[in-house]
Structure 1
C-alpha cells in the first residue's frame, strides 16, 4: 500500500512574526549606532592625515625656499605701483617650491591679486586657482563669503581699497604666523612682544614670528616703490626650529569681519584674509585670556567662530585642537587646552621662553 504525504495547510508555513522583525530591525539599528561613530572617527583620522600631509608639503617647500634663498619667504611683498593692501602673501612666493610654478608664472606683478589679469570673472586667473595643498579636508565651518568651491563669493562689487572685488579668489586653511600680538606681555622678559630692548617703537612695531608684515622691513610710504617685509634666516630662530610655529591651521576663512560685542559682526570688505594670495594671509595671535574680549576669557586656539573670523586665530574642525607646522618641517598638534604662555611662546622665534616636551 502506498502512503501519500499530507500537505501542510498554507496557514502553517514558517515565517517571521512581526515581533521578530521588529527585534531584528532594532538590533540592526543598535549595530549601526555603534558603528557610525567608529566610521566617522576613521574618516576624520584619514582627513587629519591628509591635512598633516599638506602641511608637510608646505613645510618642505618652505625649507627648500630657505635653502635656495637663504631666508624664509617674506610674509608680505608689494611690487611697485600697488598700495599696501594690495601686497602679495608668502603663499605666492612659495608656489614654485610646491610644484605650482605654472600658477606663479601667470601672476602679473603690476597688478594686485584682486585685479585683472590675476583675478578673472571666468575664474581662470592665478588668484582664482584652488590649490589642494592649501586646503584642509576636514574644514566644515566656513565664513559667509567663502563658497563650497573653495573661493570667495557673494562679496559686494567694487569692494576693497583698490576698487576691485575679492570674489573668485582661491582660499586657504593655513595661516602664516607673524608672532604674538604686540601688546601681549612676554612672561620671561616682562615687556610686551612689540618692544625690543625695553624701548617702544613709535612708527614701527616688532613682529617676533617668521612671516612678518610689510612695515617690518621699513616704512613703505611711497606707492611707486617696491616694499618687502623683513625676511628671517634660519640662524635667527634662537628659540629652536622645533619650538617655533611657522604656519598654523585657521580654516574656513573668507573675508575678515569686524567684531561687534553686542550684535552681528560687520564685514570688512577689503580684508580678504582667507584668500591664499592676499597680504592678509598672515596674522598676529591676539586673543589672550588675561585680556578678555567682550567680557569673555578666550583662548587663541579654536575660539568661537564669532571671534575666529574677526581675529584670525588658530582654528580647525579637527576634534580637540589644530595642527601646526614648525620651522624644522615637523607637524605637531596643538590642543585646545594649551596654556596661553605656551602658544604665545611657540609663536616667537626669539622670545627666549623655555618650553618642555
Structure 2
C-alpha cells in the first residue's frame, strides 16, 4: 500500500500572525539599536574631549603655558569705526584665534598647522592666489581662507548633525572662561588691541576661568587644583532652528544680564521650551554656536559656568549700556551693534541626553547633567564694580557649577560629581 504524504501551506491567518510577531520584535529592537548607536557616539565624543585634554597637557609640557585663547598676528594703530579687531581683515588675524588653533600639532593635525603658520598660496576653493595669505592667516570670518573652513574630526562630536554654511569649520568643544562674562571678548585690551588699565583691572576681577581671552595662562595659575577646575566643555552647533542653547537672544537691557544671568528666560517660548519665542531679537544667522572653530569669540569657541548645561544663551548689546558699563570711562571703546563680539551667557551644551561632557584640568572627562547644583541663577556676576556676593574675589554665586569654572576662588568640593 502506498502512503501519500500531505503538504500543508501557511494559511493567511498564520502568515499575518508571523508578520505581526516580526513587527513587534523589530519595534522592540530598533530603540535598543538607536540607544547603542548613541552610546557609541557619546563614547567617541568623550574620546575627542580626552584627546583635547592630552593635547593641552602636551602643549604645556612643550611651551610652559596653555594654548592662548585670543592669539594671532597684528595690532591696530588707527582708532575709529571699522578698525576694531572684530572687523574682517585679509592680512592679519587680529588676535582672534581660539586656543584650538595652536593646539593643532598636538592632536595629529600637523599638516593643517603648517598651512596656517606659513604663507598659503591657495584659496578655499583650490584656486591660486596672486598674493599668498599671510602666516597665521586672516581673521577667522574670511571664508576664502582654506584652513578656517576645515572640518577637523577631533573637534566634532558625532552626535551633532550640524554641517555646512553659513558656518565656517564647526567645533563642538570650547574653552572655559569662568563664571563671569564681563570683558570676555576684550581681555585686558580695547577694541583696537591697545592695552588699557581699566580693561586690565576688570579682567583681573572678572576673568576667573582656566582660560582668559588674550592672556597667557599656566597650570600654576589654577590654584584650586587641576582636578577641581573645568578647562573646556562640549557645545552643540547651531542648526538654524532658534534653539535657546545655540542662538543668542540679544538683550535690549544690557546691564540686566550682568545683574541677572537668567534675564532672557522670559523670551523662551512656553509651548516649546527649548526654543526662543517668535519675535525675539536674535543675533544674525552667521553668529550661531560653534560656527568657527578658529574664532575665539564666546559664541563660537568658549563656554561659561553660569547657567547649567544646555541653558539659554543671552547676549548684550553694548549700545544700550548708556553709562552703566562695567568698565566706567571706557564706554566709547565698547561700541554696540557688533553681534559677534557680544558678551554672552553661553553655557556648554550637547546633543546627548541630559547633559554634556566637560574636560577637567587634570585631563579627566566628566559628564555633567543639566540638573547640577548651580546656585542662584539671578545673582549678579562677579566684576570690578560688584559689591557684596559679586565683589572681586568672592566665591562663585553659581554653586558647585560656578565653582568648577573658577581657577583660584578656593571653593571646597567635598563630594564627587
| TM-score normalised to structure 2 length | 0.61
Secondary structure in 2 aligned to 1:42? helix
Specify the structure having the higher radius of gyration (Cα): 1
Q: Which residue of structure 2 lines up, in the alignment, with residue 250 of structure 1?
A: 235
Any conservation in 2 of the 1:249–1:316 contact (CA below 8 Å)? yes
Q: Which residue of structure 2 lines up, in the alignment, with residue 328 of structure 1?
A: 362
Secondary structure in 2 aligned to 1:72? coil
Any conservation in 2 of the 1:173–1:253 contact (CA below 8 Å)? no
**Which whole-Å CA distance do the structure 2 matches of 1:104 and 1:182 have between them?**
30
Q: Which residue of structure 2 lines up, in the alignment, with residue 235 of structure 1?
A: 220
Q: Which residue of structure 2 lines up, in the alignment, with residue 114 of structure 1?
A: 141
Any conservation in 1 of the 2:178–2:208 contact (CA below 8 Å)? yes
Secondary structure in 2 aligned to 1:92? coil
CA shift in 2, pair 1:284/1:47, >3 Å = closer
Cα offsets for 1:82-110 (capped at 9, x unmatched): 64225111111111111212212212325
Deviation at 1:76, TM superposition (A): 0.7
For residue 29 of structure 2, the aligned residue among 26, 35, 46 is 35
Q: Which residue of structure 2 lines up, in the alignment, with residue 210 of structure 1?
A: 210
| TM-score normalised to structure 1 length | 0.70
**Which whole-Å CA distance do the structure 1 matches of 2:15 and 2:175 have between them?**
58
**Which whole-Å CA distance do the structure 2 matches of 1:334 and 1:264 have between them?**
29
For residue 406 of structure 2, the aligned residue among 328, 348, 353 is 348
Unaligned runs of 5+ in 1: 155-166, 184-193, 195-200, 214-228, 289-299
Q: Which residue of structure 2 lines up, in the alignment, with residue 173 of structure 1?
A: 172
**Which whole-Å CA distance do the structure 2 matches of 1:104 and 1:38 have between them?**
41
Unaligned runs of 5+ in 2: 77-83, 87-93, 117-134, 188-196, 241-245, 251-266, 268-276, 316-339, 375-398
Any conservation in 2 of the 1:212–1:230 contact (CA below 8 Å)? yes
**Which whole-Å CA distance do the structure 2 matches of 1:91 and 1:344 have between them?**
23
Deviation at 1:270, TM superposition (A): 6.6
Any conservation in 1 of the 2:222–2:407 contact (CA below 8 Å)? yes
Secondary structure in 2 aligned to 1:259? strand
Deviation at 1:48, TM superposition (A): 1.0
**Which whole-Å CA distance do the structure 1 matches of 2:157 and 2:5 have between them?**
67
Please say which of residues 328-337 and 311-320 is displaced more in the overlay. 311-320
Q: Which residue of structure 2 lines up, in the alignment, with residue 129 of structure 1?
A: 150
For residue 303 of structure 1, the aligned residue among 299, 306, 311 is 311
Deviation at 1:266, TM superposition (A): 2.4
Any conservation in 1 of the 2:229–2:404 contact (CA below 8 Å)? yes
**Which whole-Å CA distance do the structure 1 matches of 2:364 and 2:102 have between them?**
21
**Which whole-Å CA distance do the structure 1 matches of 2:348 and 2:282 have between them?**
21
Cα offsets for 1:306-357 (capped at 9, x unmatched): 99x9743111111121111111111111112111011111111112111121
1:18-33 aligned at under 5 Å gives the runs: 18-33=12-27
How many residues are treated as equivalent by the alignment? 280
**Which whole-Å CA distance do the structure 2 matches of 1:113 and 1:36 have between them?**
42
Q: Which residue of structure 1 lines up, in the alignment, with residue 129 of structure 2?
A: none
